[in-house]
Structure 1
Amino acid sequence: MLQERHPLMGQRISLAERSALVIHDAEDCSRFNLRIAPENLRAASKAFGCALPATISATASSGGRQALCLGPDEWQLYAPVADSHAIEAAFAALYASCPHSLVDVGHREIGIAVEGAAAVHALRSACAFDFDTMASGTGVRTLFNKAQIILIRHDEHRFRIEVWRSFADFVWGLLQAASREIALGI
């Protein structure tokens, strides 16, 4: 079940100079982890209401819903909070013909938006991922310092971090330290 309050709600980090970096809690959403055989991708896409990408790291969006392919048989699904029960019901109806695992992970994860021209610089402070090779509209599971995150790149200067609630303050603190260093030109 989604919780209405999380530790970062209302938090914001912003550099004063032309908003080169803005970090804030991302809008809440329904989050699901889906494991299903790739040959059942079409049926799963229909149940979700958005085409599920077949390529690892690819994302697809439709009607406020987004799907991220994390592995050959694993997807992370995002949708408006109000759609949660409808998604669960659609996948429950699908189970008899296409066995799968759909797990609501909305209670365990928090979204953090990292935006602006200095976004990549802030993310590189604690993530060894090669951002130069990460195209817009892709996502990966990676580490931010020692915390596992899902990182989605919406466009050149706009990212979303999905992090477990128990690591949210830790990740936020690292981003806050990075923003101070960026502001000081370090």
Structure 2
Amino acid sequence: MLHEHHPLIGREIAVRKVTPLNIRAVADGARFVLRIDPAQAAQAAKAFGSPLPGKIGDVTVSKGRLAVRLGPDEWHLVVPLTEQEAIETAFAKLYATVPHSLVDVSHREIGIAVEGVAAMLALRSAIAFDIGGMPVGTGCRTIFDKAQIILVREAEDRFRIEVWRSFADHVWGILDAASREIALGI
């Protein structure tokens, strides 16, 4: 597996002055892109071992597994690394009766947590849409400056970014600059 080099391991941005902000890499996990007929989503949920969101933009989190519905027939799935093989085996068995595509993108993406009172302010530095209008428990594919990301709003003041490894340093650099401005009250 290509998890040997995680560009953000050991890095953290913490602003604790007036407006708390914490930005850190999330624990590595196995990531998949699932494409399946929505009429077969219940069977896919059984293979995944956790519910899949039914509405585009919704997120489900259960048993350490995260699922984001990104399109009519597309889900982004994240599970602990220890469960990767079990997921792959379950979906391989499902394929015999329900055609689908499950692609392991673990080597391609990493997660960044942005949390605290100033989380939304930091994200607004590079995301054009109104993040404040994004309900808790939803996610979407969007652009962070020039990098495509998946943004999940986990709580009122906690977000998760899923970004390609090749863009991780770029996204991190913008978040670092935004955090310095927030610390200075700019």
Segment of structure 1 superposing worse, 14-23 or 71-80: 14-23
CA contact (8 A) 1:2 1:30 kept: no
4+ runs of 1 displaced by more than 3 Å? none
Equivalent residues in 2 for 1:109-128 (5 A)?
109-128=109-128
| Counterpart check, 1:158 vs 2:158 | yes
CA contact (8 A) 2:19 2:183 kept: no
Query: 1:4 Cα shift?
Result: 3.9
Distance in 1 between residues matched to 2:72 and 2:16, nearest whole Å = 43
Amino acid in the other structure paired with 1:105: V
**Secondary structure of 1:132's match?**
helix
Distance in 1 between residues matched to 2:2 and 2:49, nearest whole Å = 21
- How does the TM-score come out when normalised to structure 2? 0.97
Residue by residue, what CA displacement relative to the aligned partner does 1:28-87 show, whole Å, maximum 9, x if unpaired? 111000000001001000000011111001011211111110000000001111000000
Identify the residue that residue 170 of structure 1 maps to in structure 2. Answer: 170
Distance in 2 between residues matched to 1:132 and 1:156, nearest whole Å = 9
What do you get for the CA RMSD once the two structures are aligned?
1.1
Identify the residue that residue 37 of structure 2 maps to in structure 1. Answer: 37
- How does the TM-score come out when normalised to structure 1? 0.97
Identify the residue that residue 76 of structure 1 maps to in structure 2. Answer: 76
Name stretches of at least 5 consecutive residues in structure 1 with no aligned partner: none
CA contact (8 A) 1:149 1:161 kept: yes
CA contact (8 A) 1:24 1:112 kept: yes
CA contact (8 A) 2:109 2:163 kept: yes
**Secondary structure of 1:10's match?**
coil
Amino acid in the other structure paired with 1:20: P
Distance in 2 between residues matched to 1:89 and 1:157, nearest whole Å = 36
| Counterpart check, 1:11 vs 2:14 | no
CA contact (8 A) 2:151 2:159 kept: yes
Segment of structure 1 superposing worse, 42-51 or 58-67: 58-67
Equivalent residues in 2 for 1:143-154 (5 A)?
143-154=143-154
Query: 1:19 Cα shift?
Result: 6.6
Percent of residue pairs identical = 61
Amino acid in the other structure paired with 1:47: A
Distance in 1 between residues matched to 2:54 and 2:104, nearest whole Å = 21
Distance in 2 between residues matched to 1:82 and 1:18, nearest whole Å = 39
Distance in 2 between residues matched to 1:139 and 1:10, nearest whole Å = 26
Equivalent residues in 2 for 1:85-96 (5 A)?
85-96=85-96
Name stretches of at least 5 consecutive residues in structure 2 with no aligned partner: none
Residue by residue, what CA displacement relative to the aligned partner does 1:70-114 show, whole Å, maximum 9, x if unpaired? 000000001111000000000000001110000000100011110
CA contact (8 A) 1:47 1:94 kept: yes
CA distance change for structure 1 residues 181 and 25 in 2, over 3 Å: closer, same or farther?
A: same
Identify the residue that residue 98 of structure 1 maps to in structure 2. Answer: 98
Segment of structure 1 superposing worse, 15-24 or 117-126: 15-24
